[in-house]
């Protein structure tokens, strides 16, 4: 089966760049890539992707069709994390979701570390569980 998946449009790129600038407080330029993915049982297909790295994490948005996207992030290529949603039909929602899931993941790791250190130190202090996202 032939998959003619269009490249990212100027509007899609603007949404991604704008969201990344809001998230990080500075411009983060996504890189263009191609990746091979399984498309809903239709077999493997080469799809356009956007990739960026920030604060130790790597992010990938894969365009799997016209207005269809998948999102991943990882700290090590062998351990990729997704958003729990198979496909998005809105790129803004896709980008915000992957950024939020990554922030939640970092927050959970920090809480786990804080709890472990508190046990080790017999400290009565509770871990910082305040929300984490924009501007952190």
**Which residues fall within 8 angstroms of residue 111, CB to CB, at 6 or more apart?**
127, 128, 129
Q: Which residue has the higher pLDDT, 131 or 60?
A: 60
- H helices within 3-136, ranges in order? 10-24, 91-121
Mean pLDDT computed over every residue of the chain = 85
Residue 116: CB atoms within 10 A of its CB come to: 11
Q: Which residue has the higher pLDDT, 17 or 105?
A: 17
Banded model confidence at residue 122, pLDDT cuts 50, 70, 90: low
User: What local confidence, expressed as pLDDT, does residue 105 receive?
Assistant: 87
At 61-116, the pLDDT tens digits run 999 999 999 999 999 878 888 899 999 999 999 999 999 999 988 888 777 776 66
User: What local confidence, expressed as pLDDT, does residue 76 receive?
Assistant: 85
């Amino acid at each position: 089966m032939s998959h003619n998946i269009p490249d990212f449009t100027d509007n899609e790129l603007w949404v991604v760049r704008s969201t990344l600038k809001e998230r990080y407080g500075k411009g983060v330029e996504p890189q263009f890539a191609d990746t091979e993915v399984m498309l809903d049982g239709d077999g493997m297909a080469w799809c356009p992707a956007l990739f960026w790295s920030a604060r130790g994490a790597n992010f990938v948005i894969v365009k799997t069709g016209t207005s269809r996207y998948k999102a991943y992030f990882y700290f090590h290529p062998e351990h990729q994390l997704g958003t729990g949603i198979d496909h998005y039909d809105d790129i803004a929602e896709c980008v915000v979701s992957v950024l939020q899931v990554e922030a939640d993941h970092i927050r959970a790791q920090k809480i786990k570390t804080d709890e472990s250190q508190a046990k080790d130190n017999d400290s009565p202090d509770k871990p910082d569980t305040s929300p984490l996202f924009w501007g952190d």
